[in-house]
Amino acid sequence: MGEEDFEEPISDLERRIEALSGMEGDVGIERQRARLQAELHALRTNVYASLSAWQKTLVARHPRRPYTLDYIHALIEGFVEIHGDRKYADDPAIITGFGVFRGRSVLVAGHQKGRDTKEKIFRNFGMPRPEGYRKAIRAMSLAEKFRRPILTFIDTPGAYPGIGAEERGQAEAIAYNLRAMASLRVPVIVTVAGEGGSGGALALGVGDRVNILEFAVYSVISPEGCAAILWRDPSRNRDAARAMKITAPDLLALDVVDEIIPEVTGGAHVDPVRQAQIVGDTLERQLRELEAMDPAALVASRYDRFRRMGRHRLAG
């Protein structure tokens, strides 16, 4: 079995369990289903305890993984979406708007991929154009004006590299967001929920707390892109994923992220509702900590946090 087929035994068991559905009432069938469910839980636990960096990348890209809108539906009440950057257009690859999170009025901004082909095209596969980032920072400025905390969810392969996006100032839009988010005088909590790719991710990633889900990844380039550049061989994606230190434990050790949010057994896609509750508990605790800080202290602490990144002690 190849490294990319690690979920095949899990899928086989799921299919066997599904085949027994609709046969309730038969004691023997119920016992068999219970036994298979126990086997499935044990298998998921065993498989996901020893994933390689490349396998975690595949989990981060899982088509059933919860996206920003899933977290909004599970955690945010009365969500009102904000559209458009007031300069060019609306960008569906980024969702942003106000709502109530466990009694607090907050702004949420995050990347949104699509589920089916039609939505993937509509959302541009979660790859924002400049107007998406300008929409996000416009909404964040409103949140600062009305003293609302900001929650961002990162899940993108990267910013869209098309000609139109470059003509409309893709790099400038990302750079502007980095500077503007660094000076926001309200709490900002960032959560890398799936795939955190390059500046397209970082444009929503400057916060007081940066979380990452257990099987999410965060990197300056995809493993395939790195392999193509370094070795001119995209098939060496496994080597690149391992060398780039893109997994949650690596990023925590390098002080790129502050906290790893555990995932349900088998990954967030197994139980998105339960996963949202786990994420919500972390966000609620962090918001309590940040709300105790005055605005000037928030900005100073955020600045210091990012200035510390990349420090290394030389041997000798």
pLDDT for the residue 69: 98
| Cα–Cα distance measured from residue 175 to residue 169, given in angstroms and rounded to the nearest whole number | 10
pLDDT for the residue 316: 52
| Cα–Cα distance measured from residue 294 to residue 221, given in angstroms and rounded to the nearest whole number | 36
pLDDT for the residue 75: 98
pTM for this entry: 0.91
Residue 217: strand, helix, or coil? strand
| Cα–Cα distance measured from residue 131 to residue 88, given in angstroms and rounded to the nearest whole number | 6
Crossing angle between the packed helical segments 130-145 and 170-182, to the nearest 10 degrees: 20
pLDDT for the residue 309: 81
Question: Rounded to the nearest 5 degrees, what angle is found at the Cα of 29, between the Cα atoms of 23 and 35?
Answer: 130
Spans in the chain with pLDDT lower than 50: none
Tally DSSP H helices, then E strands, for the chain: 14, 8
pLDDT digits (tens, 9 = 90+) for 88-100: 999 999 999 999 9
pLDDT for the residue 32: 79
| Cα–Cα distance measured from residue 129 to residue 218, given in angstroms and rounded to the nearest whole number | 20
Residue 183: strand, helix, or coil? coil
C-alpha distances (whole Å) from 166 to each of 129, 130, 160, 203, 250 are: 9, 8, 9, 15, 32
pLDDT for the residue 250: 94
> How many CB atoms are closer than 10 A to CB 200?
27
221-230 long-range contacts, Cβ below 8 Å, gap at least 24? Answer: 221/158, 221/197, 222/157, 222/158, 222/197, 223/53, 223/54, 223/57
pLDDT digits (tens, 9 = 90+) for 41-67: 888 888 899 899 999 999 999 999 999
pLDDT for the residue 246: 96
